[in-house]
Chains A and B, each alone.
Chain A
Amino acid sequence: MRFDPERAAIRFGCGLSPSLPAPKSAEAMLARLAGPDTMAESFPIPGFQAASAIALNRRDLRKARKTAKTKAEREAALAGLKESRVATRDNAAEWLGHTLLRRALTEDGFRERLAAFWTDHFTAFQLGGPLKFAQIAYAEDAIRPHVAGRFSEMLRAAATHPLMLRFLDQSRSAGPNSRAAKKRERIGGLNENLARELLELHTLGVDGPYTQQDVRQLAELLTGLSYGAKTGFQFRPGLAEPGAKTVLSVDYGGGKPRLDDIFAALDDLARHEETARHIARKLAVHFVSDAPDEGLVSAMAARFTATDGDLAQVYAAMLDHPAAWAAGPGNVKRPMDFIGSGLRALDIAPAHMPTGRYRAMRTMFFTPLELMGQRWGRPEGPDGWPEDDPDWITPQRLAARLQWGMTVPFRLKKVLPDPRDFVETALGAAAPEPVRFAARAAETRAEGIGLVLAAPAFQRM
């Protein structure tokens, strides 16, 4: 099997659309990816610093409430806090609306899928509070610009991002013999959270050739990575552990603490053979199959190593391999893929989306995503969302998918397409006969649409 436009749109893009063409070739997909990020322009989401301004403002308001001397001051602070909470909510509604519209309206679907993949690979998030949806903003500046660049660049961007430093406790870690530790008793030591996940999740993989000693040494090397709430990333030499560190038998630093020593270690990890293999396999599992063809993985890993982690080249190796185009059943769509491709098949336009209305966004998207098992922007842990198909298709999670398909399209678009046409636009030439039959036999249009969206032929990629 080789390139097929419909399969390309479904497996590597955001699905089929009645009004937007499927990609014509792998070269065309990669050319789009190399071009401008037009969806980010049409449906903007602010970067992390803009998003964290709300958090800063919230902090000031809390302080103002505590120190208020008059009733009026107190009430003003309380009103401000309420406004701030509403703003967090409304922003999230807009960002989710824009994320979904990007999927519904893009001609560069591979980019949206890659952005989701890499955001998940470099999972960082905040569970609650004003930064509850910070992952979305983080992805916008740490991940999205790098999806077609070098892996080492994305690794640097993610590993030094304020949200990552916060999420994996790095910004609070200090060398036991650092200047900061000597001056103040409270700051006294190391936290190995980021170091461990860098090795286990971001680069080598859990079966990689590292030991607890490497984790420890890398944790010491990473000390100094920090950020300011207003200024963003900062390297603070005062937190850094003095002396050389040895990670995977290579020595780093030794002189005055320098950010470049950390970058040198990250670059070496980025180009490690085990990293190449880990990334290649993870991409193949995500896009092609839970049990990918070994030849496909090897070809991608080899390209990764040969090009020093040029991701566009790794994708080219994937799209060039016959195993990538094997006939279905492909992977199960994750809930965001399912909803995004559903909206795309329904030809949803910005006017259909209740982007500015939080409550409507909650009942139609936030809650259903949670019930399907993919709480938006907040996975369960630093390993991100599961890849195994059976994880997603439990009875309770599948019930949420079926309910969404039966009810939400009608709420979004009062004039639904004829299910007999919809089955063709949503599934393409490969539409199975039983699904065509169900679309004809449904009692109502909404039910017919729901049945098509429920079909494994639509739920899989």
Chain B
Amino acid sequence: MSSAPLSRRLFLTRSMALGCSLAASPLVTPVTMASAPWDNRLVVIILRGGLDGLDAVRPYGAPEFAPYRRTLLGGVEPGERDLDGFFALHPALDPLMGLWRAGELGFAHAVSTPYRDKRSHFDGQDLLETGTPALGPARERDGWLNRMLQALPGLHAETAYAIGRSDLLVTRGAAEVANWSPDAALPLSPQAERLLDLVMHDDPLFRDAAQEAIALSRAGAGAMEMEAPADSAGMMSAMQDSMRAGRSSGGLEEVARFAAERLRAETRIAAYSIGGFDTHSRQERSLSGGLDALAQNILTLRAELGDVWGKTAVVAMTEFGRTARANGTDGTDHGTGGVMIFAGGALKGGRVVADWPGLAEADLYERRDLRPTRDLRAHAGWIMRHLFGLEAGLIERTVFPGLDLGADPGLVL
């Protein structure tokens, strides 16, 4: 554990000790935020499992597309839900057609991280989240979003949120990031809180996490309004209630709702993940679930963000694409190049950005995968450059070490 999260957590505890809730703390009022150099919002969604970019955004204009993938199309004519005369949208993304037409949805195709050849989900995801050209030792890895935060002025406890039950590598690191889930709560009586502090005191991992849990729970950063219970009996019953409630909450839609609620307030950056994209067999069915979840998630964000949607960029990225041809089980195996999805009122959508490599066998990477023609980190980098006014050198050295940003794809309005 580095010392930086500690200081933030100390700040959290102090603000509690002063008897004011986090939201009411003078240090984190919206006024402070308005004067911060950046009022824009960034949502990063990690799509786990290797999204098949060629199925999500179908290059039906390529003559090889239909023969490669007949078994995956489920009878849909290539070209239905046409985007631009060459690409068409997967049926499960149909709810997003309105956003596309409004210029608030776009794609970058034939992109990838620098990860090549071993095609491991786990290393691939780690590289996607560390944003580095290669993986260092597991225990020293930190996330690119976190490194970006370290470089920004005016950070406070709720600037960035990692949402959900699982830990996200993309936000891990020395800068302050709030970790919480909409279904979490920790109502403690004052006495229990004091004693808990005592038993946790000598173990930084536990102490910091407990302090943050108490602070976020009290700040109402959850599905339930949590008043601190006065005594042990009140605490037990509040805990029973929250455990019961935990059963039915915490789904993806709630994650989007929670993210939007935070982003409307002090938060500027939110990150979470959606799983279920590893479609080795019966892809027609298995991919629809994941894409539908993604579409609904984006629509919930837009609906809940209201006016703030206009200042928001949502970026969804995955560890790798999949094989150009269907495999023997009506699915696809791990590949290389894929698609990155971007949405939001701050972005210039309505187009598929690609230096298209072609699908003929000789054009494929190792004669099997869509050949990546651009590093997806460059797109993410340009978005952050414009959204938050980051220096190009900072992006190429610190956020995404070794990256050549290249030409501006002009994704931000």
Chain A interface (Cβ < 8 Å from any Cβ of B): 168-169, 172-174, 176, 181, 187-193, 196, 200, 206, 211-212, 215, 290-291, 329, 332, 362-363, 367-368, 370-371, 373, 380-383, 386, 388-391, 393-400, 402-404, 406-407, 410, 432, 434-435, 437-438, 441-444, 446-447, 450-452, 454-457, 459-460
CB <8 Å contact, A410 and B198: no
| A-chain residues with CB within 8 Å of residue B183 when the two chains form the complex | 371
The segment from B18-26, B184-192, B290-298, B303-311 found at the interface with A is: B184-192
Which residues from B are CB-within-8-Å of A395? 179-180, 184, 209-210, 212-213, 216
Known: A395-B216, A457-B199. 6 other contacts (CB 8 A): A192-B333, A206-B123, A211-B117, A400-B243, A454-B199, A455-B200
Cβ contacts under 8 Å, A432 to chain B: 199, 202
Interface bin, chain B: 35 or more
Most chain B C-beta atoms within 10 Å of own C-beta, residue among A168, A212, A329: A212
A407 contacts B240, C-beta separation under 8 Å: yes
Distance A381 CA – B166 CA, assembled complex (angstroms): 13
- Complex Cα–Cα for A407 and B333 (A): 46
User: Which residue of B120, B172, B205, B246 is within 8 Å of A400 (Cβ)?
Assistant: B246
Give the one of A368, A402, A407 with max B CB within 10 A: A402
Which of A181, A200, A407, A438 touches B239 (beta carbons < 8 Å)?
A407
Interface centre among B118, B119, B120, B206 (most CB of A within 10 A): B206
> Scoring B residues 197 to 220 as 1 if CB is less than 8 Å from chain A, else 0, what string do you get?
011111101100110110011000
The verdict on A174 contacting B328 (CB below 8 Å), with A403-B242, A456-B206 known, is yes
Of B179, B184, B201, B217, chain A has the most CB atoms within 10 Å of the CB of: B184
User: Given the complex, which residues of A lie within 8 Å of B329, measured CB to CB?
Assistant: 169, 172-173, 189, 191
The answer on a CB contact under 8 Å between A402 and B196 is yes
A396: chain B residues at CB < 8 Å are 165, 179-181, 184, 213
Once the chains are docked, how many angstroms separate the CA of A290 from the CA of B140?
A: 12
By a CB distance below 8 angstroms, the chain A residues around B242 are 403
Interface residue B361 (Cβ < 8 Å from any Cβ of A): no
Please give the distance in Å from B119's CB to the nearest CB on chain A: 7
Q: Is A389 a contact of B327 with CB atoms below 8 Å?
A: no
Evaluate contact between A383 and B328: CB separation under 8 angstroms. no
The reply to whether B235 and A447 contact each other, CB–CB distance below 8 Å, is yes
B13 interface residue per 8 A CB criterion = no
Q: Which of chain A's residues have a CB closer than 8 A to the CB of B189?
A: 443, 447
CB pair A393–B328 under 8 Å, yes or no, is no
Among B226-276, those with CB < 8 Å from A are 231-233, 235-236, 239-240, 242-244, 246-247, 250, 275
Do B209 and A393 touch across chains, with their CB atoms under 8 A apart? yes
Q: Are B199 and A196 in contact (CB under 8 A)?
A: no
Q: Which residue of chain B is the closest to A373 with respect to CB atoms?
A: B165
Residues of A within 8 A of B200 (CB): 454-456
Residues of B within 8 A of A (CB): 1, 48-49, 117-123, 138-139, 165-167, 172, 179-181, 183-186, 189, 191-192, 195-196, 198-203, 205-206, 209-210, 212-213, 216-217, 231-233, 235-236, 239-240, 242-244, 246-247, 250, 275, 278, 280-281, 326-329, 331, 333-334, 366
Residue of A nearest to B248 (CB): A367
CA distance A383 to B233 in the complex (A): 41
> Bound complex: CA of A363 vs CA of B247, how far in Å?
8
Min CB distance B261 to A, Å, is 16
Q: Is the CB of B327 within 8 A of A190?
A: yes
- Cross-chain contact A291 with B117 (CB below 8 angstroms): no
Q: How far is the CA of A390 from the CA of B1 in the complex (A)?
A: 9
Say whether A393 contacts B246, CB under 8 Å. no
Q: How far is the CA of A414 from the CA of B120 in the complex (A)?
A: 49
| Chain B hits for A381, CB < 8 A | 48-49, 121-122, 275, 278
Q: Which of B184, B233, B328 sits near A189, CB closer than 8 Å? A: B328
Beta-carbon nearest neighbor of A382 in chain B: B121
- Within the assembled complex, what's the spacing in Å between the Cα atoms of A168 and B232? 48
- When distances are taken between beta carbons in the complex, the residues of chain B under 8 Å from A172 are 281, 328-329
> Across the interface, do A402 and B327 meet the contact criterion of CB distance under 8 Å?
no
Within 8 Å by CB of B138, from A190, A215, A329, A388, lies: A388
Collect the chain B residues with CB atoms within 8 Å of residue A368's CB.
243
Q: What residue of chain B has the Cβ atom nearest to residue A191's Cβ?
A: B329
Contact A212 B49 (CB under 8 A): no
Contact present for A383 and B121 (CB under 8 Å):
yes
CB atoms of B166 and A373 under 8 A apart? yes
Q: Do B243 and A367 touch (CB < 8 A)?
A: yes
The verdict on A212 contacting B235 (CB below 8 Å), with A395-B213, A451-B199 known, is no
Q: Contact between A442 and B195 (Cβ–Cβ < 8 Å)?
A: yes
Q: Which of A173, A329, A406, A442 contacts B328 (CB 8 A)?
A: A173
- Distance between Cα atoms of A200 and B246 in the complex (Å): 35
- Determine how close the nearest CB of chain B comes to the CB of A185; give it in whole angstroms: 10
The smallest beta-carbon distance between A446 and chain B, in angstroms, is 6
Contact of A390 among B123, B205, B213, B366 (CB under 8 A): B205
Do residues B165 and A371 form an inter-chain contact, with CB atoms below 8 A?
yes
Q: Given A444-B233, A446-B236, does the pair A456, B199 have CB atoms closer than 8 Å?
A: yes
Query: What separation, in Å, do the CA atoms of A190 and B202 have in the docked complex?
Result: 54
Q: Which residues of A contact B281 (CB under 8 A)?
A: 169, 172, 191
Identify the closest chain B residue to A192 (Cβ). B333
Closest to A407 in B: B239
Interface-centre pick from B202, B235, B328 (highest chain A CB count, 10 A): B328
> Are B243 and A389 in contact, with the CB atoms below 8 A?
no
In Å, the complex CA distance between A447 and B199 comes to: 13
* Known A-B contacts A172-B329, A434-B198; A363 and B244 likewise in contact (beta carbons under 8 Å): yes
Shortest Cβ gap from B340 to chain A (Å): 21
**Residues of B contacting A391 with CB < 8 Å?**
166-167
Q: Assess whether B199 is in contact with A435, with CB atoms less than 8 Å apart.
A: yes
A172–B334 Cα distance when bound, in Å, is 17
Q: A333: shortest Cβ distance to chain B, in Å?
A: 12
The chain B residue sitting closest to A372, CB to CB, is B165
CB neighbours (8 Å) of B275 from chain A are: 380-381
Partner of B185, one of A212, A399, A406, A455: A399
Contacting residues, chain B, for A196 (C-beta < 8 A): 119-120, 333-334
Complex formed: what's the CA distance from A176 to B233 in Å?
66
Kindly identify which residue among A382, A398, A450 contacts B209, using a CB–CB cutoff of 8 Å: A398
B243→A363 contact, CB < 8 A = yes
CA A323 to CA B281, docked complex, whole Å: 45
State how many angstroms separate the Cβ of B337 from the closest Cβ of chain A: 15
CA distance A383 to B123 in the complex (A): 11
A391 to B141, CA, bound (A): 13
Q: How far is the CB of B251 from chain A (nearest CB, A)?
A: 12
Cα distance A119–B247 in the bound complex, in angstroms: 26
- Of the candidates B192, B210, B327, the one whose C-beta lies within 8 Å of that of A191 is B327
CB-based contact B203/A329 at 8 Å: yes
